[in-house]
A and B are shown apart, each in its own frame.
Chain A
Amino acid sequence: MSDLLRVEDLWVRFFKRGGGVVEAVRGVSFAVGRERVGIVGESGSGKTMTGRAILRLIRPPGEIRAKRIGFDGTDLMGLSERAMRRIRGERISMVMQDPKFSLNPVMTAGEQIMEAYRLHTGAPRGEARARMIEMLEAVQIRDAERVAGLYPHEVSGGMGQRIMIAMMLAPDPDLLIADEPTSALDVTVQMSVLQIMDRLVRERGMGLIFVSHDLNLVASFCDRVLIMYGGRIVETCRAGALNEARHPYTRALLESLPRLDRPKPRLSVMRRDPAWLEEPSVDAFA
């Protein structure tokens, strides 16, 4: 499979005011093809920062360093901020967890999608409008004309998230970075949002980076999984084989989870090993 994105030795550091450095991402390398790649980890593992760093969305006092972030033949690290703005949204889109903070509260859903589309394509209003309706329908919004006229506060969380996704997908990106895109949603809506993303990968050949804390969901939804701990990828494996993962951290994570299909008298408690922070990662594909 040809790589759409190849991240080489990515570091994200935050410089604290009183001196001292927090290393959020520590030397991460991975590639993404036209597939669904899950990044899982607990809070503080660096999974969200990895997603944001690809789009260079880390502000000072944060700093991104990488040997290379190769995307479609260019190194994103070498691009000007102006050139980067053309990549964002147009070639690589990002969907975040909470639509409440991602949508503009004083613009209708339709206007926002049209604005985003026209900004990236320079298309005339009529075309943008048609595209906007098409996208709302693509995310399973019935009655797209009516929803287009609603403001963010007038729609439910699930509807807001679908509007976000419609906005991100309107310019037909090659890669979508979705950070916990369904965590705030009910299961029914969650499934339909996942099915939309699934279809885009299968039908349009989009690449998807799916950042999540939900092991079950990632195992059943993605093609491959990267497990992050302490700013590093500790294990890479086929999503369907997550239950046979070998790294002790991944094992401990799986063991600590209550399961519906298998009762456990007691949940196992993770004993963190400092070696996990330094040891080479377990790669099922190497």
Chain B
Amino acid sequence: MPSPDAISAEGLSVAFGEGTARSIAADRVTFRVAEGGSFGLVGESGSGKTTVLRAIAGLIGDWTGGLTVRGETLGPRRQRGFYRTVQMVFQDPYASLHPRHTVDRTLSEPLRLHRFDRVEARIEEGLRAVGLGPEFRFRYPHQLSGGQRQRVAIARALMLEPRILLLDEPTSALDVSVQAEVLNLLADLRSRRGLTFLLVSHDLAVVAHMCEEIAVMQGGRIVETLDVDAMRRMEPREDYTRHLLRASMGYVPEETG
């Protein structure tokens, strides 16, 4: 029997608000990510890509449809053990780290919560894994650059040795030279630890660089799912995807006449 998918979503729907103010943020979203795979969700703001990620992470409780992680069906609430399998990295490293906690505290908290042993050694290994020296251990977020903060956020996500990382625009707040370092780090960690990635981004070049398969979202729905080669060849099936691809190559002058 083949191993179960790392993540599968079957008709996942999320709605916010009530009555006339009700809006559907994710609409019958279906996709699968194989164990060890890297899957991208792209789309413009409001397309529902982050909503999907947050529903899987357990940050949105009110969803319908089916979600499984490594063969286990998820309910509305996550058990503590879930976070030993799945961790999330957020877009803004300025907002996702507690400003008054040192790196040491940020990294040790999940370990203590989950009663891990060898806390000291794990923190040191964690810092090393993301390319930060031991001198960073007792620094506060304001003493770090944007790239260093995102490294700390990645180290924190890796503390519990998860199998799956949910990455929400992990480099869009960073300069391109720093983005390159963080994307390289993520790619290395994935191949070294056999991680599965679910990456959300509005940047098609970033997604193409990181993922083998990509779902394009618009208005809460998946417009199409295509593999990275089709995307690089600019051969999508849907007009909307073609439009996004064209726009991501740069300015498109007005059509005259």
Q: Give residues in A with beta carbon < 8 Å to B.
A: 42-43, 157, 186-188, 190-191, 194-195, 198-199, 213, 215-217, 219-221, 252-253, 256-261, 263-264, 266-270
Which chain B residues (212-252) contact chain A, with CB distance < 8 Å? 231-232, 243-245, 247-252
B74 touches A (CB below 8 Å): no
Known pairs A216-B249, A253-B176, A269-B184; A260 contacts B231 (CB<8 A): yes
The contact of A256 among B177, B247, B254, by CB within 8 Å, is: B177
Q: Are A256 and B176 in contact (CB under 8 A)?
A: yes
Chain A: minimal CB distance from B148 (Å): 14
Query: What are 16 A-B contacts with C-beta separation under 8 Å?
Result: A42-B175, A42-B177, A43-B146, A186-B45, A187-B44, A188-B247, A198-B251, A198-B254, A217-B251, A220-B250, A220-B251, A253-B177, A258-B209, A259-B205, A260-B249, A269-B180
- CB-CB under 8 A from A261, the residues of chain B are 232, 249
Q: Are A263 and B232 in contact (CB under 8 A)?
A: yes
A163–B243 Cα distance when bound, in Å, is 25
Chain B: minimal CB distance from A252 (Å): 7
Query: Chain B interface secondary structure, helix, strand, loop or mixed?
Result: helix
Chain B: minimal CB distance from A244 (Å): 16
A267: nearest residue on chain B (CB-CB)?
A: B180
Chain B: minimal CB distance from A93 (Å): 21
Known pairs A258-B209, A260-B232; A267 contacts B254 (CB<8 A): no
B208 touches A (CB below 8 Å): yes
What is the number of contacts between chain A and chain B, taking CB atoms within 8 Å?
Answer: 86
Q: Are A187 and B244 in contact (CB under 8 A)?
A: yes
B189 touches A (CB below 8 Å): no
B187 touches A (CB below 8 Å): yes
A252: nearest residue on chain B (CB-CB)?
A: B177
What is the 8 Å Cβ interface bit string for chain B, positions 116-145, against chain A (1 contact, 0 not)?
000000000000000000000000000000
Candidate in A191, A219, A258 with the most chain B CB atoms within 10 angstroms: A258
Q: Are B254 and A199 in contact (CB under 8 A)?
A: yes
B253 touches A (CB below 8 Å): yes
Chain A: minimal CB distance from B11 (Å): 26
A220–B253 Cα distance when bound, in Å, is 9
The contact of B181 among A198, A220, A269, by CB within 8 Å, is: A269
Known pairs A42-B175, A195-B253; A260 contacts B204 (CB<8 A): yes
Q: Are A258 and B251 in contact (CB under 8 A)?
A: no
B206 touches A (CB below 8 Å): yes
Task: With A195-B253, A198-B251 given, name 8 new contacts (CB 8 A).
Answer: A187-B247, A191-B251, A256-B180, A257-B176, A257-B180, A259-B205, A260-B232, A264-B209
A189: nearest residue on chain B (CB-CB)?
A: B44
- CB-CB under 8 A from A257, the residues of chain B are 176, 180, 205
A283–B251 Cα distance when bound, in Å, is 24
Known pairs A215-B176, A269-B181, A270-B177; A260 contacts B248 (CB<8 A): yes
- CB-CB under 8 A from B179, the residues of chain A are 256, 267
What is the 8 Å Cβ interface bit string for chain B, positions 159-181, against chain A (1 contact, 0 not)?
00000000000000001110111
- CB-CB under 8 A from B245, the residues of chain A are 260
B9 touches A (CB below 8 Å): no
Known pairs A187-B244, A260-B231; A220 contacts B177 (CB<8 A): no
- CB-CB under 8 A from B252, the residues of chain A are 191
A42: nearest residue on chain B (CB-CB)?
A: B175
B183 touches A (CB below 8 Å): yes
A42–B177 Cα distance when bound, in Å, is 8
Known pairs A42-B176, A186-B44; A221 contacts B251 (CB<8 A): yes
- CB-CB under 8 A from A221, the residues of chain B are 250-251
- CB-CB under 8 A from B175, the residues of chain A are 42-43, 213
- CB-CB under 8 A from B45, the residues of chain A are 157, 186
Chain B: minimal CB distance from A129 (Å): 28
A194: nearest residue on chain B (CB-CB)?
A: B251
Which chain B residues (62-92) contact chain A, with CB distance < 8 Å? none
Candidate in B45, B176, B187, B250 with the most chain A CB atoms within 10 angstroms: B176
B43: nearest residue on chain A (CB-CB)?
A: A186
Q: Are B253 and A270 in contact (CB under 8 A)?
A: no
A192: nearest residue on chain B (CB-CB)?
A: B254
A268–B183 Cα distance when bound, in Å, is 10
A257: nearest residue on chain B (CB-CB)?
A: B176
A160–B231 Cα distance when bound, in Å, is 32
Chain B: minimal CB distance from A204 (Å): 15
A264–B232 Cα distance when bound, in Å, is 12
Q: State the 8 A-B residue pairs at the shortest beta-carbon distance, nearest first.
A: A220-B250, A258-B209, A256-B180, A267-B180, A221-B251, A187-B247, A42-B175, A220-B251
Known pairs A42-B176, A199-B254, A267-B180; A220 contacts B44 (CB<8 A): no
A215–B243 Cα distance when bound, in Å, is 20
A43–B45 Cα distance when bound, in Å, is 23
